[in-house]
């Protein structure tokens, strides 16, 4: 049996992940997202397009380094900025 990476941190931010998939990545349908997953792991979009979409939705600048940050860490930070904006 294949072991998958843990996903308990991702489960803790399920509503934020759902918003990302609904509003930023509506054409993406990942089967499994682990705690190690980044935006580059869950999307086939070009990095420039991911930066544009995220910056627009979250109303803050998104950098290439952000695209390599685990989603469980990135999404709460981006959501906080979106709510402040």
**Is 11 contained in some domain?**
no
pLDDT at 25 over 90: yes
In a domain, 31, yes or no: no
Domain of 85 in residue numbering reads as 37-85
- d(Cα 29, Cα 58) in Å, to the nearest integer? 20
Closest CA to 70 of 34, 46, 25, 44: 34
In which band, very low, low, confident or very high, does the pLDDT at 1 lie, cut at 50, 70 and 90?
low
pTM of the model: 0.91
Q: Is residue 52 in some structural domain?
A: yes
On whether residue 13 sits in a domain, the answer given is no
**48 domain-assigned:** yes
Instruction: Give 67's DSSP letter.
Output: G
The pLDDT value given to residue 47: 98
Which residues 6+ apart lie within 8 Å of 41 measured at CB?
33
Helix, strand, or coil (residue 17): helix
* pLDDT band at residue 4 using 50, 70 and 90 as cut-offs: confident
- How many angstroms separate the CA atoms of 4 and 19, rounded? 24
Mean pLDDT of 17-44: 95
Asked if the structure places residue 83 within a domain, the reply is yes
Whole-angstrom Cα distance, residue 49 to residue 33? 20
| H or E, element range at 82 | helix 71-84
Within a domain: residue 66? yes
């Amino acid at each position: 049996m294949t072991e998958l990476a843990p996903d308990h941190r991702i489960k803790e931010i399920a509503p934020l992940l759902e918003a990302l998939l609904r509003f930023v990545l509506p054409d993406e349908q990942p089967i499994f997202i682990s705690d190690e997953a980044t935006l580059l792991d869950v999307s086939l979009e070009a990095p420039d397009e991911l930066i544009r979409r995220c910056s627009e939705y979250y109303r803050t600048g998104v950098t290439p380094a952000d695209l390599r940050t685990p989603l469980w860490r990135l999404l709460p930070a981006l959501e906080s900025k979106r709510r402040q904006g």
